[in-house]
Structure 1
Amino acid sequence: MNQDEELLIRKAQRGNIAAFEELVKRYEDKVMSIIFNMLNDAEDARDVYQDVFMKVFLTIKKFRFQSKFYTWLFRIAVNTSINYRKKRTSQQKETLENYIEENKHDAEITIQNNSDNPEKHLLDMELGKHIQRSINLLSPKQKAVFVLRHYHGYKLAEIAEILNCAEGTVKNYLFRSLQKLKKELKEFRLN
């Protein structure tokens, strides 16, 4: 953490709104990206984004400079996303299953492609959808580790710090997530 950022944090801790807004500007894109990758829904991501920065605003006085600010902020973003996903999943599971069952025959596929091989394009689209569905089947912690590692390029030690767990635990989550994805994709290829 550089001195400029530390000064902004200390000002924000004393209630300086302009300093807090500057911190938000510095991290808003990265936070939104993490949240979106966790939830895969733009509207939900915007809601959680607001919640995250509200939590940060209300708790910034508790930040004690024992970790990097971005680690503390991303931990709030990941945990808020996980909690939102759990809550939303439990509320919507039954209705979603009913909706899919009732409308499975009405689904239409629209292909807009200028390539010479529409069959390959369709297969690529289906594979992409299957990969995203497979990622969504991961547990919240597995998904968080997978997203932070493969979508955002964080090192295992950084992920451990963000999730407040041991690096070995992160490796375990990553290994299990890759095993699940491998199994899901293998089943996709067989179909």
Structure 2
Amino acid sequence: MSDTVLIEKVLEGNDHAFRLLVEKYRNDVFRTVFAVLRDQKEAEDAAQEVFMKVYTSLSHYENQGFKTWITRIAVNHAIDVKRKQARRREDVVDALDQQALGSPKDSVEKVVIAEDQRRLVQKKLNEVPENYREVIYGFYIAEKSYQQMAKEQNVQVKTIETKLYRARNWMKRNWKEDDFS
């Protein structure tokens, strides 16, 4: 059955037709989302959310290439998820900063210095290649164990160890101690 026929049936209320569309495109959607998120569990969740968006937006589809349309939805959704993850990381860093700052009685100078250091660390962290950034953040800032990070990223502990080793080597090659003062 063609996509056009299936879409018409879905719009008429045939849920089975939508299941057929999901079956036909689920691998494409998953691969697209995974390419952006690089995390299997996050990609699985995002792929399901993409299909919910497709279902609710199907009445707006204008018969101009269904696969292209669904892929565009998948990419946009994956980018949104990635942005939310980044915001969550920033919130964690901000919360850690608040803890580190201590009581309001602390001097203004201490607060300003801590804020400058936070900005500098965030800037330097953004310089790190993306494939290392997550392990550096997880281990040094969020203080997660290798096991926690391996579980979250759905990889072996050895993979986390290797990434962290390579990330440290990258930092040794590209950063100087003076960069942080």
State TM-score, norm by structure 2: 0.54
Write out aligned runs for 1:64-75 (5 A).
Answer: 64-65=62-63, 67-75=64-72
Tell me which amino acid in the other structure corresponds to 1:100.
Answer: Y
The 2-side partners of 1:81 and 1:60 are apart by 19
SS in structure 2 of the partner of residue 92 of structure 1: helix
Write out aligned runs for 1:71-110 (5 A).
Answer: 71-95=68-92, 97=137, 100-101=140-141, 103=143
Q: Which runs of 5+ in 1 are unaligned?
A: 113-121, 131-186
SS in structure 2 of the partner of residue 57 of structure 1: helix
* RMSD of equivalent CA atoms: 3.4
> Are residues 1:47 and 2:87 paired?
no
Give the structure, 1 or 2, with the largest relative contact order (CA under 8 Å, sep 6 or more): 1
Q: 1:9 to 1:93 in 2, by over 3 A?
A: same
Query: Aligned residue pairs: how many?
Result: 119
Q: List structure 1 segments (4+ residues) > 6 angstroms apart after TM superposition.
A: none
Q: 1:53 to 1:111 in 2, by over 3 A?
A: closer
Corresponding position of 1:184: none
**Contact persistence 2:146–2:157 (CA under 8 A):** no
The 2-side partners of 1:59 and 1:102 are apart by 38
Q: Which runs of 5+ in 2 are unaligned?
A: 94-136, 148-155, 175-181
Tell me which amino acid in the other structure corresponds to 2:140.
Answer: I
> How far has the Cα of 1:34 moved from its partner?
0.9
**Contact persistence 2:33–2:75 (CA under 8 A):** yes
Which has more radius of gyration? 2
Deviations 1:88-116 (Å, cap 9, x if unpaired)?
21122353648524648x7699659xxxx
Write out aligned runs for 1:5-154 (5 A).
Answer: 5-65=3-63, 67-95=64-92, 97=137, 100-101=140-141, 103=143, 126=163
State TM-score, norm by structure 1: 0.51
